[in-house]
Chain A
Amino acid sequence: MFDFWSYDFMRYAFLSALILGPTCALLGVFVTLRGMSFFSDALAHSAVTGVALGFLVHEQWHWQVDPFVSVLAFSFLLASGMAWLFHKTTLKPDTVIAFAFTGSVAFGVVVISKLGKYRLLDGCLFGSIYANGPADLWHQGALAVVVVGLLAWQSRAYTLSTLSPDLAHVQGLRTGWLNYVFALLIAATVTVCLKMLGALLLSALIVIPPAAAKLVAQSFRQMVICSILIGLFAAGTGVIASYHWDVPTGPCIVLTDVACLLLCYTLHALRKTA
């Protein structure tokens, strides 16, 4: 069962899944409770534009830009822009997300068509976890440290402001600043995870584990722990299953997540009828 460990690419893919699965699941607890699932989806899809802009800079000015850097920079810009619009305008968040999402993807597709590099879309949309190397693992490890560190340090502020921004403000918690940081954290997570699942499936890694955990948890603490365990289990199992059945890894991880969700829903339904 563990013969996959003898291949470098499988080892990297498995370790990558074990780092990113629980990290995204932890972040996802706050993303889903704040109703920002669509926000992470929008950032994932706008990665197309980040990659396209990196290539545009290379074509126009002959500067070699690492796609990771161009996607990260564009995601930060888009996340900051959306967070600013949430805060400063009367537009509803779903409206802001919808026009930022579709606008940026449309722009990315125009740039890609002009450059004639349609193959870029494949990598962005579906990802390729087997292309992971040691450098990617370092990026992912650093992301995990930042996400866990920040959410642990500011857990009270993020949880209370999820329940009531007013109560958080009265207690002297700087919610405006924290909201910007949270938006940037989602942007960084999406950028780092893009290689693993691609834009189409990435938000499953963030949204499904906390949604499943919420169904069975009896407290917030339990929800956080269950979400992390489901994220870890689904990512690890997905990679192993994809190796044994010779199917793409991303969909395998997402399907394991969905299976966990269905199991949790069944447990939830059984508890309600008992």
Chain B
Amino acid sequence: MQLEHVGVRYGKNWALQGVDLDIWRGDILAFIGPNGAGKSSLLRAILGLVPLAEGRIVLDSHSAPLRIGYVPQRLDFDTSFPITVSEFLTLNLPQQPLWTRGLKQHQRHLKRQALARLQCEHVFEQKLGALSGGQFQRVLLAAALLREPELLLLDEPASNIDRRGSEDLHQLLLQLHADLGLTLIFVSHDLHFVSHLATRVGCLNQSFCGLGPPSEILCEHFLAETYGSAFQPRQTHF
């Protein structure tokens, strides 16, 4: 996938401008930057959730349409809505004709398999609104995996979980990347999480200030350029 001079605008304000990026198969690409830097806008542009004000996104013309999975930061829903994890996962399954033989058993198997892969099979019958932050994140991930994506986009995956949960998630994503050959793109404020997971890091502040391996990018120069001169590298946990 290639992003050519991509720009996103909300009203008169540019969230992103002139972003050029090549995304390679098997990449683990992280976007970092201060609030309002356009990280989530870039994810939303790749997903087609916001129109491009300029530029274009080009897919490899030789391949079939890309299967994309998306894990939002959170769902803004009424937590008293009594939908169960199983029902939520059903909504995310690829649609099959209702008359398919053994459809219910097959769907049940797929849903249990997805949860088992994320080590949270026990929440199968629980209500979605009653899950903890870490469990909820895993269910969202399981829902995204049900569509067998080639490219998985995650918006702030470690934001609603504690340090231990964040380390578990990091291991889990590495495992998924290795097992399924996924391309991962994620947005995060957690530089510790980014430095351990990403193979490439993009520092965003409306356009890229730097893009490359974490060892090169997560240094004082690029971080100060991205976050401003007030950035204190000692405050992060590498």
Contact = CB atoms under 8 A, between A and B. Distances in A.
Contacts of B49: 166, 169-170
A162 B82 contact: no
B75 interface: yes
Contacts of B76: 164
Interface in B46-77: 47-49, 68-70, 72, 75-77
Interface string B88-125: 10111001000000000000000000000000000000
Interface in A122-165: 156, 159-160, 162-164
Contact of B91 (A35, A159, A217): A159
B92 A33 contact: no
A163 B75 contact: yes
B77 A220 contact: no
A20 to B, nearest CB: 25
A214 interface: yes
Given A156-B95, A219-B87, A220-B87, A166 B72 contact: yes
A266 interface: no
Given A159-B83, A164-B72, A218-B82, 7 more contacts: A160-B92, A163-B83, A169-B49, A171-B92, A214-B81, A219-B87, A220-B82
Chain A at the B interface: SS class: helix
A220 B49 CA distance: 27
A96 B82 CA distance: 29
A102 interface: no
A222 interface: yes
24 contacts: A35-B78, A156-B95, A160-B91, A163-B75, A164-B77, A166-B44, A166-B47, A167-B70, A167-B72, A167-B75, A169-B48, A169-B49, A170-B49, A217-B82, A218-B84, A218-B127, A219-B84, A219-B87, A220-B81, A220-B82, A220-B83, A220-B84, A222-B82, A223-B82
Interface footprint category on A: 20 to 34
Nearest to B94: A171
A221 interface: yes
B229 interface: no
Contacts of B77: 162-164
B179 to A, nearest CB: 22
Interface string A210-253: 00001001111111000000000000000000000000000000
A214 B79 CA distance: 11
B147 interface: yes
A222 B83 CA distance: 9
B235 interface: no
Contacts of A162: 77, 81
